[in-house]
Chain A
Amino acid sequence: MRINTLEQLKEQRIQAEKTIQNRIFGQPSARPEVLIGMATCGIAAGAGEVKEAIEEELERLKLTDIKIVPVGCIGYCHSEPLVQVNLPGQPPVLYGNVDAAKAREIVKGHLVGQQLLADGITEPNFERVNLEEAKAFEPTGQRKQLRIALRNCGVIDPTSIDEYIAGHGYEALGKALTQMTPETVIDTVKRSGLRGRGGGGFPTGLKWEFTRKSRPGVQKYIFCNADEGDPGAFMDRSVLEGDPHSVLEAMAIGGYAIGASTGVIYIRAEYPLAIKRLKTAIAQAKEYGLLGGNLFGTGFNFDIELRYGAGAFVCGEETSLINSAEGKRGEPSNKPPFPSESGFWGQPTCVNNVETYANVAPIILNGGDWFAAIGTERSKGTKVFALAGKVNNVGLVEVPMGTTLREIIYEIGGGIKDGHRFKAVQTGGPSGGVITEDYLDTPIDYESLKAIDSIMGSGGMIVMDETDCMVNIAKYYLEFTQDESCGKCTPCRVGTKRLHEILERITEGKAEMADIDKLTKLARTIKDAALCGLGQTAPNPVLSTLKFFENEYLQHIQEHYCATGSCKALVKYSIDKERCIGCTACAKACPVKCISGEVKKVHAIDQTKCIQCGACFTTCKFGAVIKP
């Protein structure tokens, strides 16, 4: 089947709506459905077995009219695998931590018995709003989230183009091609205030305009940066796995706006499921005539091809990414010339990130002003964060710009895990910095995060508690950047190595006070002198932790003491004789059997054999194992 006009597409939507009902807007469905979160993390947690169990049970009970829908990331990563039950006339119910046994229970108790089981959630803490109503969104109480980029993730079956069309999919492309000029498309995106979600925060509309105006008439390219390399960020993966068509549609719109007939998605080979979903989506879009030649009968041609990354963090930088897409070493090039003048094969090229694209279709459909009404003065719309680390509700969170860190961590994230105390949150991954308790009430946007020496980055948000050593964290990030430095420029290649060496000395208790000075000077030099974003931001974790946690650095250097016990060379586990009740739990947990003692008598650790793995420390329920 081929869709040639916007009217045909709308007809297709009305047909498709009948099958998926109003699932997208969280309204009661007309026919029973079971949604299973089957993104990479869901599958890793066992969603496959859960799906099999539900299928078996439905088969056994001969319930043939119940539809099983594998969906993308639902966002409650801490409770994977997730199963959502939609019954006619009732609000959807979400079940977490489902295994095969519980899945059978859900089928028997809920689908057949119509009874809400004890741990079902009927009010998820995000708003599945109708996008036209998003402007009026008021964060209240538990409902802090607003999903624009993630609007379809965890709702539709990502392998079905019809389910995407049911939520007004490809209508923005149809509208752009048939009712707007490339200039008005660019103007709409400019007015929306959308900025690059990959980390840079450059205005998207402006980037499109530059590429459009650059060297008129020559072949141009539009790129999707899907090389999500920031450790601790997984929103791009979730969008690609849960809603691949939204990226394809936006790339076609962007291609029309800048005057490109070819789009390239540069994707990490480490995301096999995302690649599979993209391939399926591209084939479906071609079959429907929504990609390929003469789209919507307007004569506009647009095709998308995939290029695979091969494991290099620096390839997230646009000039490196382009070099890598050409089959070369992914080294960055000097700017200028910018890719908008000379990029892929020397032609004008526009590179945008996955999440940026995920915002485009709603902007075209609802207008730039609609999007600009959400967020803060200079940062518009919403931002997806991958909330992880020592927080109760690990998961994907999408909030309007201007939401505070405290709201994200405590209200959406459910606070710090195991009753520990909040210490810091790292945003922006290896290019970012830490934010301490004093700044938790900062409204999040590009400028305010920068003002407190951190960055928005791609949206990784790692929460740390008092058991995390900040020097060790800085060392971790430097180890990462040092490893991932492409080696082209000296400040980055040699500088990050030296930074890492100094940090290593500090964590081993072998540093001197002069090292702090060296650290700061070197960090500033690298920032100024490195060729690309990787090097220029690599020292940020060091400078930021040094600024906020200087006394931890001093403790390591002067007292050879790491208060958290994270630094292996400085840690020494021992047993508190007062507290030990001789339960033997620590001895059982010890992988090298270095803990001795009889039942109900005080135990002891043989320091010569101890590998400082901390198994005893985490096992002891009585706080009898102490460190450092």
Chain B
Amino acid sequence: MPKTGVRAQTISVKDLPPEKFTRLDEYINSLPSTKGALIDIIYKAQEIFGFLPREVLLHIARKMGISGAEVFGVVSFYTNFTMNPQGLHTISVCMGTACFVKGAPALAQRLQEKLGIHEGETTKDGLFTLKNLRCVGACGLAPVVMIDDKIYGRLTVAELDQIIESYQKEAAGVAH
């Protein structure tokens, strides 16, 4: 697996829809207390915005009365949070030990070649984001690749190619 270097960079997006901020505020206001709820709030924000641009992090900080650095510190600590826009589909290769010994590295390498991106990056057309995943716990199906919520098990490189192509075709079909 190649390293992506700095895991997170703050992206600034000035023109985020105000109604999304309203939805986030409604959620925060509905909590009995914001004590200890930072991670839940960040999850909610990511669900609403799709990712976590700088403005959203600062908004959360102001709303909770804590420093922006504290919010940023939590966001950058956990791998489930992302400060980059995500592709339409997220492809994750399971890198659990069972998958590793059964050929996951070859699948990961093939994906990088085929899509021309590294782990953590999104294709130019915005179709795929590539991620590594630490064990989905379906070791009986190793090696496993997860596309969005769907798990593909006992995969070979050739099958993976076909699956990716089917997603690409589907996206092309939608575009026409």
Binding site for B on A (CB under 8 A): 40-41, 43-45, 77-78, 80, 228-234, 237-238, 269-272, 307-313, 324-331, 345, 386, 388-390, 394-395, 426, 429, 460, 462, 464, 468, 473, 476-477, 479-480, 484, 486, 589, 591, 611, 613-615, 618
Contact = CB atoms under 8 A, between A and B. Distances in A.
A489 to B, nearest CB: 15
Given A45-B153, A330-B77, A476-B100, A310 B137 contact: no
Interface string B17-42: 00000000000000000011111101
Interface of B: 1, 35-40, 42-43, 73-74, 77-81, 95-98, 100-103, 106, 109-110, 113, 133-142, 144, 149, 151, 153, 156-158, 161
A40 B139 contact: no
Given A327-B74, A388-B97, A479-B1, A613 B106 contact: yes
B134 A613 contact: no
Nearest to A615: B157
Given A329-B77, A394-B140, A591-B158, A231 B39 contact: no
24 contacts: A41-B141, A44-B144, A44-B153, A45-B153, A77-B139, A232-B98, A237-B137, A269-B43, A271-B137, A309-B78, A309-B80, A310-B43, A310-B79, A311-B78, A311-B81, A312-B77, A324-B39, A325-B36, A327-B36, A389-B102, A462-B101, A476-B97, A486-B77, A611-B109
A452 B127 CA distance: 49
Contacts of A325: 36
Contact of B140 (A41, A230, A426, A486): A41
A205 B149 CA distance: 40
A477 B113 CA distance: 24
A269 B95 CA distance: 17
Given A310-B43, A611-B109, A613-B109, A329 B97 contact: no
A234 B139 contact: yes
B136 A77 contact: no
Given A270-B136, A310-B39, A328 B74 contact: yes
What are the nearest 3 A-B pairs in CB distance? A77-B140, A234-B137, A310-B78
Contacts of B81: 310-311
A462 B140 CA distance: 11
- Of A308, A388, A476, the most chain B CB neighbours within 10 A belong to A388
Contacts of A327: 35-40, 74
Contacts of A232: 96-98, 135, 139
Contacts of A614: 103, 106
A349 to B, nearest CB: 13
A231 B38 contact: no
A311 B79 contact: yes
B109 A464 contact: no
A480 B104 CA distance: 14
Given A311-B78, A330-B77, A614-B106, A230 B135 contact: yes
A310 B46 CA distance: 12
A266 to B, nearest CB: 11
Contacts, number: 154
A388 B77 contact: no
Contacts of A234: 135, 137-139
A328 B133 CA distance: 22
B140 A80 contact: yes
A443 B2 CA distance: 39
Contacts of B113: 611
Nearest to A396: B140
Given A41-B141, A231-B135, A618-B156, 9 more contacts: A44-B151, A308-B43, A311-B79, A312-B79, A388-B97, A390-B102, A484-B134, A591-B158, A591-B161
B151 A388 contact: no
Contacts of A78: 140
Contacts of B135: 229-234
B153 A613 contact: no
B149 to A, nearest CB: 8
Contacts of B73: 329
Contact of B134 (A40, A43, A313): A313
Nearest to B66: A327
B98 A388 contact: yes
A615 to B, nearest CB: 5
A221 to B, nearest CB: 12
A80 B140 CA distance: 8
Nearest to B94: A231
Contacts of A394: 98, 139-140, 142
Given A232-B97, A329-B77, A388 B142 contact: yes
A327 B97 CA distance: 29
A309 B78 CA distance: 9
B138 A41 contact: yes
A230 B42 CA distance: 25
Contacts of A308: 39-40, 43
B115 to A, nearest CB: 13
A443 to B, nearest CB: 24
Contact of A40 (B43, B100, B133, B136): B136
Contacts of A238: 137
A321 to B, nearest CB: 12
Contacts of A462: 97-98, 101
A231 B80 CA distance: 17
B140 A388 contact: yes
Nearest to A43: B151
Contacts of A386: 139
Nearest to A477: B97
A80 B101 contact: no
Contacts of B161: 591
Nearest to A331: B77
A228 B38 contact: no
A345 B134 CA distance: 29
B136 A591 contact: no
B119 to A, nearest CB: 11
A600 to B, nearest CB: 23
Contacts of B95: 231, 480
B74 A329 contact: yes
Contacts of A324: 39
A464 B102 CA distance: 10
A326 to B, nearest CB: 5
A64 B52 CA distance: 51
Contacts of B149: 272
A477 B95 CA distance: 10
A468 B100 CA distance: 10
Nearest to B7: A483
A230 B100 CA distance: 13
